[in-house]
A and B are shown apart, each in its own frame.
Chain A
Amino acid sequence: MSKFWLLATQLYKQKIRSKSFIFSTLLYVAIVSGIMFWSDIKAAIFSEEPLKIAMVNDTKQDFKEVFQSDDDVKFSFPTEDQATIEKQIKAEKLDAAVFLTEKDGRLNAEIVTYTPLEFNDQTKLSSMIQYAGKIYAVQQLHLTTEQAAQIIESQTPIHMKNLDMQKQDGKSEDEKAAGIGASILVGSIVYSIVISFLSIITTDVASEKGSRVLEVLLASVKPSTHFLAKITGTYLLAFSQVALLLVVQILLLLTVDDGSKWKKVAGVIENLSVSYVVYTLAYLILSIFLFLIVGALFGSLVSKVEEAGQTMMPVMFMGIAGFYVLMSGLYSPDTLLVKIFSFIPFTTVMVMPLRIGATDLSPTEPLIALIILIATVVVLFYVSLSFYKRSVLTYSSGGIIQKIKTVLKVTT
């Protein structure tokens, strides 16, 4: 085994066997699975009885078509008087009752409860009542069923036509939605990788430097080999964690509820363009590399592992900033802020996929961002390597600027 692979696998084996890594990976997988399958988990753990709501209709209109029972709500249509119904509510035989009456030609509703309804349930019930109200209002006009349906169901179809020939290949709403969904996923993965693996590589280099084992290693291997081995080992570690996460999610998607969720995900993937997938993967691979280069460099600057956290704060902030810009761009992916951050190498991976997926941008923009990212990785790699060679054996106190000054002072 070459020295490079020995060092890379040593880091990999040591970290992958560590309790903290195993625990954090399991926690990560559990949290992501929990979010993905929240509705199934909720149904399995909190197997709630459906809400029992009595619809007391004092109008001549029949609303049974509107208020249809489902898994969450069971509607009944009693004919008892209000006092009897309220007694049943107090006795918790019913969760709520809706008294529908007519007032000034409009439908009027009163919701009676003993325990206030949950926000979600109340919203759902309110929108159903609003819908019933519309039907009631239309019915007062004495229209035919078809005419009424035409008014209520009417939706204006909107077609986009752009006169710029280059921009004619616009995205459909489905494609844009898929682009936003996938961008959230990529953004979240990068964010968690930035936070956890930046910390892993920085503290690993810092602890080797602090325990002086680095001097022994560098007597045997070139600093460039050590530097690359650290990045590769951490990269493999990150890759393993992401792969595990994806495998678990895919297995869960395929098995839970007979794969009904997998069909939804497959639908999203089908709506993603080839260029989106290629660019996003390229950004992802390069960006992890970029953050790990900086992490290794910062690890080499500190004198002991305790200082590592403080040193990597600026890079962490870059990751956090990218994530926030992504979140702000989910609702308006065309703002100037999103455009600017999509070209900053440290945030391209989080922001540019959103622009590619959710907006009709010119094909040169993602390419320019990619070129900027590649150029930054190459330049930063060589600058970091040259600095790494000099900083790994220099011990100094003070802040990061002071440390850089000391390295330059004692090595030039």
Chain B
Amino acid sequence: MTLVIDQVTKRYQDFTAVDQLSFTIKKGEIFGLIGQNGAGKTTTFRMILDLQETTEGDITWNEQPMNKVNRDILGYLPEERGIFPTMAVEEQLYFFGILRGWTKKDLKKEVDYWIKRFDLEDKRKAKAETLSKGNQQKVQLIASFIHQPEFLILDEPFSGLDPVNRQLLMNAILFLKEKGTTILFSSHQMDNVEELCDHLCVLKKGASLFTGSLLDLKEQYGKIKLSIRSELEESQLNALPGVKRVKKTKDGYTLLLENELYGEQLFQILGKGKYMEKFSMDYLSLDEIFKDLVGGEHV
């Protein structure tokens, strides 16, 4: 076990920001914390970083309380970008590296590598405030892990990035994982979470709705999403056994089933033993599960 959050609560005078939250992250794992705005993600991060105290519960890193942990093993990218606006890119990276205990000489290789990898070579001497939002985010991300932290926290690292830069960041995160960095991150974009995370925790109003592996979560729901191409009307499909909801799509219908056991029966009814162009039973996407968990609609 590396990071253990045990029954953590953060209570203010008139509301509870985090309620009895528990999860663990193993070494070298990418863990996703997902939830709507105000669900308590940033508060959780701040408590892990010892920026805020917990009201109840314990947070430990390798069985050591967080406030006793050497800060230099931590890396943090806050949700709202935090870099010195008037400092040059290169100077900024050196500053944050030295702040975490590195020497300028040792940092040079790292700084050069990441500047090249993130295509910032021509921006080395540019002030951060003159960069585009995407480039600022790249600088910010490099600054958060330039010191090769053991544990990296990324709060919404993909927000506001174009698909190319998003992929660049995603690859960098996977690269860090390969090197053994333990990563905790939050995102509103579920496709990123799905692609990166081994385990996740879904938060709603400070409380955990689910904690575990992504596969477990999907299996908990089962393959209840049925995509078909059919000549039947929507009302006729709605009347079929085990069907909770029907949604017309560009390419046929998507049916939400009560459980995946109805699949076989529906295959018989819809196909009548004949050839069917499309009949596909799938897990719900994380996006759909998330909406279902936090009270929205899915399918």
Contact = CB atoms under 8 A, between A and B. Distances in A.
Interface of A: 1, 3, 6-7, 10, 14, 207-208, 211-221, 393, 409-412
B174 to A, nearest CB: 23
A208 B86 CA distance: 11
Contacts of B72: 220
B95 A393 contact: no
Nearest to B14: A409
For the complex of A and B, list the 8 residue pairs with the smallest distance between their C-beta atoms, beginning with the closest: A212-B82, A213-B82, A219-B76, A215-B78, A216-B82, A212-B80, A219-B49, A220-B71
Given A216-B144, A220-B71, A6 B99 contact: yes
Most chain B CB within 10 A, of A207, A216, A220, is at A216
A393 B52 contact: yes
A412 B52 CA distance: 11
B72 to A, nearest CB: 7
B175 interface: no
A199 to B, nearest CB: 17
Contacts of A410: 12-13
Most chain A CB within 10 A, of B14, B78, B81, is at B78
A381 B144 CA distance: 31
Contacts of B81: 211-212
Contacts of B99: 3, 6-7, 217, 220-221
B46 A393 contact: yes
B266 interface: no
Nearest to B84: A213
Contacts of B86: 14
Given A211-B82, A216-B76, A219-B74, 13 more contacts: A211-B84, A212-B78, A213-B82, A213-B84, A215-B76, A215-B78, A215-B82, A216-B77, A217-B99, A218-B51, A219-B76, A221-B99, A410-B12
Interface of B: 12-14, 46, 49, 51-52, 71-72, 74, 76-78, 80-87, 95-96, 98-100, 143-144
A412 B14 CA distance: 10
Given A211-B83, A410-B12, A216 B143 contact: yes
B85 A211 contact: yes
Nearest to B71: A220
17 contacts: A1-B98, A6-B99, A212-B81, A213-B83, A215-B51, A216-B76, A216-B96, A218-B51, A220-B71, A220-B74, A220-B100, A221-B99, A393-B46, A393-B51, A393-B52, A409-B12, A409-B14
A6 B14 CA distance: 39
Given A212-B82, A216-B78, A218-B51, A412 B71 contact: no
A10 B84 CA distance: 11
A149 to B, nearest CB: 72
Contacts of B95: 6, 10
Nearest to B129: A211
A217 B84 CA distance: 11
A221 B99 CA distance: 8
B9 to A, nearest CB: 15
Contacts of A14: 84, 86-87
B150 to A, nearest CB: 14
